Amino acid sequence: MAEKEKSFVDRLWDFFASVKLAIVLFSLIALTSIIGTVIEQNASPEKNIIVLKRLVGENLAPTVYRILDILGFMDMYHSWWFVTLLVLFAMNLIICSLERLPRIWNLIKEPVKPLNPERIPAFPIRKEIVIRHSPETVREALVQSVKQLGFKPMNSPLEDGGYQLYAQKGNWSRLGVYITHLSIIMIMIGAVIGIFFGFNGFLNLPEGYTSDVAYSRKDSKPHPLGFSIRCDDFDVEFYGMSDMPKDYRSWLTVFKDGKEVMKKMIEVNSPLKFEGYTFYQSSYGMLSTGRGFFIFKVKGPGGKTETITKIMGESFIIPGTNIKGTIKKFSPALAISQDGKTYTYAQMMNNPAVYIEFTENGKPKYSGWILKRYPQTWRLPDGSIVQFIDYWGVQYTGLQVRKDPGVWIVYLGCVVMAIGLYMAFFMSHKRIWLIASKAKEGTLIRILATANKNRAGFERKVETLVSNLNREV
Amino acid sequence: MDSSTLFGIATIGYILAMVTYIVYIAFRNKTIGIIASTITIVSFIAHTGAFFMRWYEGYIMGLRSLWHPPISNLYESIIFFVWCLILGYIIIEIKYTNRSFGAFVTPIAGLALAFIEMTGMSKEIEPLVPALQSNWLLAHVTMSFISYALFGLSFATALMYLIEKTEKKTEPAYIFWSFSLGILIVLLIAMTMDYLEFHVAATTSENIKNYLFKATFKSANSVVAITSWIGSFIIIGMVWAFGHHLKRLIGALNVTPELLDELTYKTVAIGFPIFTLGGLIFGAIWADQAWGVYWSWDPKETWSLITWFVYAFFLHARLMRGWRGKRAAIVSVIGFVAVVFTYLGVNLLLSGLHSYGSLS
Ligand code: HEM
């Protein structure tokens, strides 16, 4: 029969169903991606021109930059041609899988059938043993040994009074490849949904402030959230007495229609989620205009403790005494130089310290720095304790605000991919036949088996089965 | 004894083992082979001990919780990579009762360990900054390095396969493997020179932070630098010119190309799912938890993806006629180069090109 001229649609289908295209796309995506790791994406032109000068020299750099810019390399992962590559890749994957799925499906659906004992095809694993008992007496032992390998054997009688046990398992594992391919499509769909319907923004929220908007990363435009969020407090914890941060924490409260609905402390790896929005701890800072509240826990010599909140310049009385403390100075990060002078070494609250002057009945008594991180500075000469709890209201927490309605599809795709890869690489489709026929000395048992993966491993199991049979019967 | 002493013993042991395996390949003397295996196993035990000691040290110093094994900075992760690589190798040596892979696997370990010494990277036990305190990150790093080690093994077997299978010196596959092996040898020699110059001869009194290639390609003395380049080309040329002798050596060691091909596929077939789950998926989950973006196309992420595509290429190439065998082996070699670039190149080369972060 002469080959029929294929229609355009058929040819297009064949083109997209080929593994060759997949190989070409793997290479193209990998190779072009490299360029995007050399050229900094979405950076200012000067930065990349400097990079190009190092690579191609002073003279060529501006021209190369212009060419790359026109081709979209400055934001290449979102350029039309890279997106086209990804679309082609997705089509390749879908059509290739659709093309092969029916055949695989039939293979999976097909039950194992008994073999014709006269014409046994060449199987990769074949063993023979002879046992000095009739087929009937060894039947139970044979069934048990096959069950031990995890098969549920079926039985079919032979004409000579013998019988045949046969079984298969793992036939579903042939779907592993297609489940893996499906998962890639799921992840891509999830990512596209995120790009079109998601929101990526930020919100710098000072302690004590409430906001009902976040700001877009793209154009810094306010984006209404539909609820409001308040920063109750922000704090950095350090390793021991070092300046190495151990943890950043924000205490947040969510309000919906004027009512408080949620309170949560967030940390770097533990965000707050509400109505599809997620708030991540991403940065922090000090307000330049900061006028905050000093919070102390003051314990007098009599043992009475009070919590006191004051602003700069205000005074308080130590309970049970006539001693008055006045807040004079503040340093977010106090250090002492070698000649004993104090100075501020950072503009972050690394080592907050407050300078307080104490007087008794108007007469100066003592004065000095009280440091939040050093409890030994809290104790006054007369035994009272002024614990510096916080300087509240001068820091802001930097929140990353995201809404990604596609992310659960991406995660589901990841789970599906894990399952698919497990099936594709760690499971195999195994079939086994035991043909027990009458022989002069007893029973001839022929064992035939196949596996589509890790055949050597399966062969070893079959060998164990044979040696067990030899020992037991 | 502390963990760094034990690490030192293991490092010297692996380098000794490397030399012994190469001698074994050259003379095919069984006793030498047994010595090589013994050195490897003893070093591995020392290495394992050092790993757990460092873990414990981080805990008693109050810098890390008991849940954080020492795999959080560059130094610790290279050490862990070597541990996985040697473990994988020992399993293969026992399972296939064949020692000759040792001469190809231990140089990878030697290169990695020499790299630590030459760059003068920090070996301190560091406290974890907030973003790193994540169990996802832990799973991500552990699994990534297990898969890197498996890819390293497949690199070694693929290279041996190519050596055995190529006939003519003009054939692309021959040129490919002889150049790859030549570059590997040049790197080993260059790092040894760095080591000798800065650690043994101690020619410099000042404390250079990064010795890498300072004794050769990056020498302040331009004569030395130029000689190094010329020397490298000569070495690569010699490997090309005399490489066919290697074929006879490997051929005499009872490793059939079929076994090598099977091992290359098997190590990738185990490494690929582990890399996908640990390297890509867990990495994305961690990024999502820490910063709210599961994928941001940053150079490190992109290079992981490139590596993933190269190995996907490898797996699918086997489905096409004419792509089994030599071509697939070449892809596997390229895959491991991508792995190394993902881990080191991004930090070393790209970050030097831009001005963010570097080796510390
Ligand atoms: C990066 C994306 C891809 C991944 C992670 C992936 C994953 C896999 C895996 C793990 C296997 C099993 C390989 C083995 O057992 O050695 C496989 C097989 C296969 N893949 Fe892919 N694949 C991808 C893309 C594609 C594409 C775009 C096509 C389109 C042609 C394709 C076509 C095939 C075919 C035809 C098989 C063999 C199926 C069989 O043996 O029955 N794959 N894939």
Least confident of A98-102, A133-137, A201-205, A312-316: A133-137
φ and ψ at B150, to 5 degrees? -65, -40
Give the whole-angstrom CA distance, residue B160 versus residue B154: 10
ipTM of model: 0.86
φ and ψ at B108, to 5 degrees? -65, -45
Given a cut of 70, whether residue B97 has pLDDT beyond it is: yes
A470, A129 in Cβ contact below 8 A?
yes
CA dihedral (A77, A80, A81, A84) positive or negative: positive
Q: Which band of pLDDT confidence, cut at 50, 70 and 90, is reported for residue B208?
A: low
- Between vectors from CA B304 to CA B299 and to CA B309, what angle results, nearest 5°? 120
Per-residue confidence (pLDDT) for residue A1, from 0 to 100: 44
Q: What is the DSSP letter of A379?
A: B
Testing the interface with A: which of B72, B272, B354 to mutate, by most A Cβ within 10 A? B354
Q: Which band of pLDDT confidence, cut at 50, 70 and 90, is reported for residue B355?
A: very low
Token pair recorded at residue A161 = 């009074």
A281, A261 in Cβ contact below 8 A?
no
B77, B112 in Cβ contact below 8 A?
no
Q: Which atom of ligand 1 is nearest to the CA of B318?
A: 16
Specify the 3-state DSSP secondary structure of B210.
coil
Token pair recorded at residue A259 = 């009512």
Specify the 3-state DSSP secondary structure of A415.
helix
Per-residue confidence (pLDDT) for residue B8, from 0 to 100: 86
Specify the 3-state DSSP secondary structure of B347.
helix
Average pLDDT for A454-473: 85
Per-residue confidence (pLDDT) for residue A290, from 0 to 100: 64
Testing the interface with A: which of B291, B311, B346 to mutate, by most A Cβ within 10 A? B291
Cα distance between the two ends of chain B = 26
Where does A111-170+429-472 sit in CATH, by number? 3.30.160.110
A326, A313 in Cβ contact below 8 A?
yes
pLDDT (tens digit per residue) in A28-45: 999 999 998 888 888 888
Token pair recorded at residue B252 = 């005499």
φ and ψ at A346, to 5 degrees? -155, 160
B267, B154 in Cβ contact below 8 A?
yes
Per-residue confidence (pLDDT) for residue B268, from 0 to 100: 96
Distances (CA, A) of A334 to A29, A204, A291, A353, A388: 53, 25, 18, 6, 14
CB of A428 within 6 A of ligand 1: the answer is: no
For residue A11, the CA-to-ligand 1 centroid distance in Å is: 21
Please name the member of B134, B320, B353 whose beta carbon is closest to the beta carbon of A20. B320
For residue A166, the CA-to-ligand 1 centroid distance in Å is: 31
Average pLDDT for B90-106: 87
Predicted structure pTM score: 0.85
pLDDT (tens digit per residue) in A236-258: 888 877 888 888 999 999 999 98
Testing the interface with A: which of B332, B353, B356 to mutate, by most A Cβ within 10 A? B353
Q: From edge to edge, which strands make up the β-sheet containing A272-274?
A: A259-266, A245-256, A222-238, A210-216, A199-206, A395-403, A277-286, A272-274
pLDDT (tens digit per residue) in B142-193: 899 999 999 999 999 999 999 998 988 889 999 999 999 999 889 888 888 8
Give the whole-angstrom CA distance, residue B212 versus residue B219: 10
A202, A278 in Cβ contact below 8 A?
no
Nearest CA to ligand 1 atom 12: A177
Cα distance between the two ends of chain A = 59
Q: Give me the residues paired with residue A358 across strands.
A: A325, A366
Across chain B, what does the average pLDDT equal? 85
Does the domain at residues A193-288+396-417 carry the CATH identifier 3.40.50?
A: no
- B312/A269 Cβ within 8 A: no
Non-local (6+) Cβ contacts of B90 within 8 A are: B40, B41, B44
Per-residue confidence (pLDDT) for residue B155, from 0 to 100: 94
Given a cut of 60, whether residue B206 has pLDDT beyond it is: no
Q: Give me the residues paired with residue A245 across strands.
A: A238
Residue A327's nearest CA partner among A345, A351, A301, A308 is A308
Neighbouring C-alpha atoms within 13 Å toward the C-beta of B351: 15
Specify the 3-state DSSP secondary structure of A326.
strand
pLDDT (tens digit per residue) in B8-67: 889 899 989 999 998 988 888 889 999 999 999 999 999 999 999 999 988 888 777 777
Nearest CA to ligand 1 atom 42: A93
Token pair recorded at residue B89 = 């190798």
Given a cut of 90, whether residue B223 has pLDDT beyond it is: no
- B270/A414 Cβ within 8 A: no
- Helix, strand, coil percent values for chain A (each to nearest 5): 35, 35, 25
Q: Going by DSSP bridges, is the β-strand pair A442-451/A395-403 parallel, antiparallel, or unpaired?
A: unpaired
Non-local (6+) Cβ contacts of B349 within 8 A are: none
- A269/B281 Cβ within 8 A: no
Radius of gyration of chain A (CA): 38
Q: Give the helix/strand (H/E) hosting A261.
A: strand A259-266
Residue B29's nearest CA partner among B353, B252, B309 is B252
A27, B313 in Cβ contact below 8 A?
yes
Q: Give the helix/strand (H/E) hosting A466.
A: helix A455-472
**Could you state, in order of their start, the residue ranges of all structural domains in chain A?**
2-108, 111-170+429-472, 193-288+396-417, 293-392
DSSP H stretches of helix in chain B: 3-27, 30-60, 74-95, 102-119, 135-165, 172-195, 222-242, 244-251, 257-274, 283-291, 299-317, 326-340, 351-353
Q: Give me the residues paired with residue A154 across strands.
A: A166
Closest Cα of chain B to A268: distance in Å? 6
CB of A181 within 6 A of ligand 1: the answer is: yes
**Alpha carbon B89 to chain centroid, angstroms:** 13
Least confident of A162-166, A209-213, B120-124: B120-124
Distances (CA, A) of B77 to B2, B121, B137, B146: 19, 12, 13, 10
Q: Which band of pLDDT confidence, cut at 50, 70 and 90, is reported for residue B352?
A: low
Give the whole-angstrom CA distance, residue B330 versus residue B162: 8
Token pair recorded at residue A308 = 């006191």
For residue B315, the CA-to-ligand 1 centroid distance in Å is: 7
Give the whole-angstrom CA distance, residue A227 versus residue A273: 12
